[in-house]
Amino acid sequence: MKSNNKLKIFNDPIYGFITIPNSLIFDLIQHKYFQRLRRITQMGLSYLVYPGAHHTRFHHALGSMHLMQKAINVLRFKEVTISKEEENGLLIAILLHDIGHGPFSHAMEHSLVNDISHEEISLYFMEKLNEEFNGSLTLAISIFKGEYPRRFMCQLISSQLDMDRADYLKRDSFYTGVAEGNINSERLITMLNVVDDQLVVEEKGIYSVEKFLVARRFMYWQVYLHKTGLVAEQLLTRILKRAKELVQEGEKLNCSEPLFFFLNSEINAESFKSNTLDVFAKLDDYDIVAAMKDWQYHDDFVLRNLCEMIINRDLLKIKIRKNPIKTSDLTAHSKALIEKYDISKSQADYFVFSGEITNIAYHNKKQHINILQKSGKLKDIVKASDQLNLKALSKPVTKYYMCYPKKKM
């Protein structure tokens, strides 16, 4: 049933009123593929650390579109030509940039599907919507894929300083209450310009860029890679992996049909075609939570304990170190667990494991944030800035972690 009343305003706690610019974008927001984002949390299981972090991908997509509207107005004011079709392409590309995320955002990519990223799934959704909307997303898809000849437009969607980052840093810091991550995205956008088809920041915006990069580094260590959030996401990935193993061994597991489909199939980039896409579109956080609530009473030692840990927020212990984890440390914990519960080594591996995390706030090897100086010259932010730690921000920092059960499991 189509509604004729094309509601034009959303009230956002961060930016205030967000206007929907036209009926095509209204219809895309109304589509069931996009409405599903209301049921996908933006920050996965981070609410186990920051109780306020329950905002969704739906919030973030609208916020990113709002900032894109601002960026287009700023660039047009500075006499950068952007046609009505290009404006629409930019708004649709940023609105749909995260539509391919699975339940709890990233856990899906490492367990239920193989070798297929959320960006690729986003593209499949956009291509399917393009068929439904008679080709009106063609330009947006070209910009999203980075193929559109006007380079700066692709950079507004995906770069070191895109509208995606400009929204999620501000939004995530707001909902977590981590004030250090709060950036002035409006000021940053006001300082944007285009030179030789590249997105640049005017010299007077240099401190805003510094603040943006420092805030990004801080948010990664303090929030996105927080050790409790990290161990929770690892547990969720392992729950789905174990459930898949059990289903493929013929075990009966209670869960929703879409979730059962993914547990019972080997899905990769090749097999992810329209049939799979429609099933994927029915999958969200609720399927996973409902399954975990049921599975915490399952006979399987591994599945039962992993689910209980997340449902009751009684997680594994995690230690983070600067040097790689020694095998002997892992073996000791693994051995103790095997003896205590009379389980196999492969079962113990679900509870005792190690990994690494890397944080790089500014990938200047891949792309640059160029500062437009008053002389007209372009300089990379690291060279243009007098802040010493910006050079450090462009070097990757790796830390190593080890997870193992608390005394009583």
Return the pLDDT at 7: 66
Contacts of residue 141, Cβ cutoff 8 Å, sequence gap at least 6: 93, 123, 126, 127, 130
pLDDT band at 365 (very low <50, low <70, confident <90, very high): low
CB neighbour burial string for 238-265, b if at least 16 within 10 angstroms, e if fewer: bbbbbbbbbbeeeeebebeebbbbbbeb
Q: What's the rounded Cα separation, in Å, for the pair 218 and 393?
A: 10
- Tokens 């493929």 sit at which residue? 248
Q: Are 236 and 310 within 8 A, CB to CB?
A: yes
63-95 pLDDT, tens digit per residue, is 999 999 999 999 999 999 999 999 999 999 999
Cα–Cα distance, 258 to 281 (Å, whole number): 9
For the segment 283-311, the average pLDDT, to the nearest whole number, is 97
Q: Roughly what angle, to the nearest 10 degrees, separates helices 301-311 and 227-248?
A: 150
pTM of the full structure? 0.94
C-alpha span between 230 and 356 (Å, rounded): 10
| Closest by Cα among 173, 214, 167 to 46 | 173
pLDDT band, very low/low/confident/very high, at 408 (cuts 50, 70, 90): low
For the residues 51-60, what does the mean pLDDT come to?
Answer: 97
For the residues of 40-82, what is the DSSP string, one character each? SBTTTTGGGTSTT---BHHHHHHHHHHHHHHHHHHHHHTT---
